[in-house]
Chain A
Amino acid sequence: NAGVTQTPKFRVLKTGQSMTLLCAQDMNHEYMYWYRQDPGMGLRLIHYSVGEGTTAKGEVPDGYNVSRLKKQNFLLGLESAAPSQTSVYFCASSRSDRAGNQPQHFGDGTRLSIL
């Protein structure tokens, strides 16, 4: 099983460039999430989606946009990359569960450097 797949694995951008990170899951999960992880700060939620066509802001949404046009895909866009967006980005998915008891499954991350 592929689980959660992120592309690309690594990327170096110049300040002001744009790019899109792709997350794909084959587990038929309703919920999908984008996090960033910086040293000493743990994972912080950027945006999330509770279903196809719906997205919502997380803790640190500024500078990012997302789209969930298909249930299995969740895209994270950087319109104008800034050095502060240098980080490791993780995508996750989970089954829908109003009680919140379903754990998340993570992709193996995208390491993004902005010069």
Chain B
Amino acid sequence: DIVMTQSPDSLAVSLGERATINCKSSQNVFYNSNNKNYFAWYQQKPGQAPKLLIYWASTRESGVPDRFSGSGSGTDFTLTISSLQAEDVAVYYCQQYYSTPPTFGQGTKVEIK
């Protein structure tokens, strides 16, 4: 199974400042035949179900604000929130869907400083 490791486990950022979350996969999740990284980010607010934010490593899901961006390729990926808003307080999970079983990172809790 592919192991996904996020860092940090938690971070506190001031409103309007940048938040950066990293995720490392134990195996390459880039598929050469279609040039795609089988990698996604989810947001889970307290008491809610997860919500898909970004897929193919950098494509924002419809309706996701453009302050959220994803980058990276192969085994190393980053989620950036360019200007943190109060409603962004949540736990963020990375996930690979390159192989079965799909696996998630342990989560990163984002709070307001």
Note whether A and B form a binding pair. no
